[in-house]
Amino acid sequence: MSWCIAADSSCNLRSFVPTAPETSFRLAPLKVHVGDREFVDDAQLDVAELTMAIAAEDTATSSSCPSIGEWAEIFRSADNIIAITISASLSGSYEAAQMARTMIMDEYVREHAGSIAGKNIYILNSRAAGGKLEVLVRLLDAYLKQPHAFEDVVAFIDHAEESSQVLYSLSRYENLVKSGRMPRGVGSIASKLNIRILGTASSEGTIKLIGSTRGEKKTINKIVDTMASNGFSGGSVSIDHRDNADGALGIKEAILQRWPMATVHIESCGGLCSYYAEESGLLIGYEWA
């Protein structure tokens, strides 16, 4: 039986190759709209070109979710599929994936004399974006190295989602404000005062502000302290950055100093996360159980 670990492109893994046997990894691309141009957030996207286009555009910009057809193509690719989406509170990706699942399961039943045996699709709402999805993908890949029943895999990934979190450390907020994902007054004040805001995901999957910091050292300390207060004790971490490799490395070093047994990966933001994280933004996903 073949497996596919799927995610939409709010997950910033672009060249990930699963280590589990008979397992593939697929991404459903979100899109960023800049003026009359559409940038598809896939492995071929030139993020620098996207960034320059956004900076030069005077009119509104926006993002959109993968289509039902794009999800359906992925769901046809394996016998067992676990798909992880950006928070359903932030995007229509989860809903599109659910509709694609219904379509593919109906298609499978017609082609197999009314039976669904041999085809399983599960859609997980990550209630986050960025690094949390990458943590979940890697945990799932490790779990699939051993054979498991599909329902056990679903139980595993549900528990992993409930036992993981994401932090957003941002210094620019224009696109979040424009999209309605951050109050305009909060973004305006933070920008004027040159404050870096630290946020996390609420239980509903929306962005919840934790506090603000000034200076790199205070920011890193706040991130590490927040992780500890959430129960992190040395598990898997994924740090995404928008043109801020030094900041990501500083967080990694602080994590390993405090929890030497932690596993920390650093990724560059793809198109969607670059659009919302903006200049020097950081997204830190981690699991604690």
Structurally, at CATH architecture level, domain 164-287 sits in 2-Layer Sandwich (3.30)
Query: Model confidence over 127-174: pLDDT tens digits?
Result: 999 999 999 999 999 999 999 999 999 999 999 999 999 999 988 767
How confident is the model over 58-79, as pLDDT tens digits? 777 889 999 999 999 999 999 9
Coil vs helix vs strand at 81? strand
Q: What is the pLDDT of residue 210?
A: 85
Contacts by 52-58, CB closer than 8 A, 24 or more apart: 54/175, 54/275
- Rounded-to-integer distance, Cα 9 and Cα 32, Å: 11
Using CA atoms, how far apart are residues 73 and 81, in angstroms rounded to an integer? 12
Residues of the chain with pLDDT below 70 are 173, 176-194, 289
Q: Are 33 and 64 in contact (CB under 8 A)?
A: yes
Looking at residue 181, what is its pLDDT? 58
Predicted local distance difference test score (pLDDT) of residue 39: 96
Angle between helices 131-143 and 150-162 in degrees, nearest 10: 150
Where in the chain is CATH 3.30.1180.10?
164-287
Q: What local confidence, expressed as pLDDT, does residue 54 receive?
A: 87
Q: Could you tell me where in the chain the CATH 3.40.50.10440 domains are found? A: 3-30+65-161
Domain 3-30+65-161 CATH assignment equals 1.10.150.390? no
